[in-house]
Structure 1
């Protein structure tokens, strides 16, 4: 697979526009040479308002990969899948791990530590759910 970084397209671009831009970037004449395109990252570039753009980082599965990489621009490289993992630990580990907060980061930390064999305790310090719902509704209603 090939990785294309910093591919900038208008925010209203369609999948077909992305495919055409990839073909142009990789200097491919036949769209059928592209087997698959996977979006690794998509960011909004709003520095030049009112024009808005998406900046893509893509993984592209393409025929004749070696030839394309040989003549590639600086923003094109070989894509290497990276999978993050904690080293496995002895389950009998006596260290207690406490995660404070059940937001996205706290839940993700709990998930990753659990997969590594730890038994984390996740604590939420906020209000009871019923009270929090009222607080949030009041915030949206009154500011």
Structure 2
């Protein structure tokens, strides 16, 4: 094979590799049951990013379905109902995962968060403080 032909093949191979898609995050939109089985969170578009809202209680909270965000550090937000509350906010695709924030209404705390599909019906949800993360596995709602 001539040097010119070898160079042409090498160039074609390089261009093919460059045109392949890079690793992309699997879609996370849909309805997910939290690890404790108490609620369903719907992840969907919220403008330029994704968010997740509590859309159903599978186990009624202590104050019933009208449970309020009573642990929120912002006293002006403590009247908000947990049902319908966005607990996942600002999620944007970053490589093979989604990055944003997760709010825990049981503690009134917001954490840095990562979402990643671990199987077609499983969502790995991480809440992080500094380098330390706690992971939950949510399952797709039927």
* Bigger radius of gyration: 1
In proportion to residue count, which structure has more strand?
2
Same fold (TM over 0.5): no
TM-score (norm 2): 0.21
TM-score (norm 1): 0.21
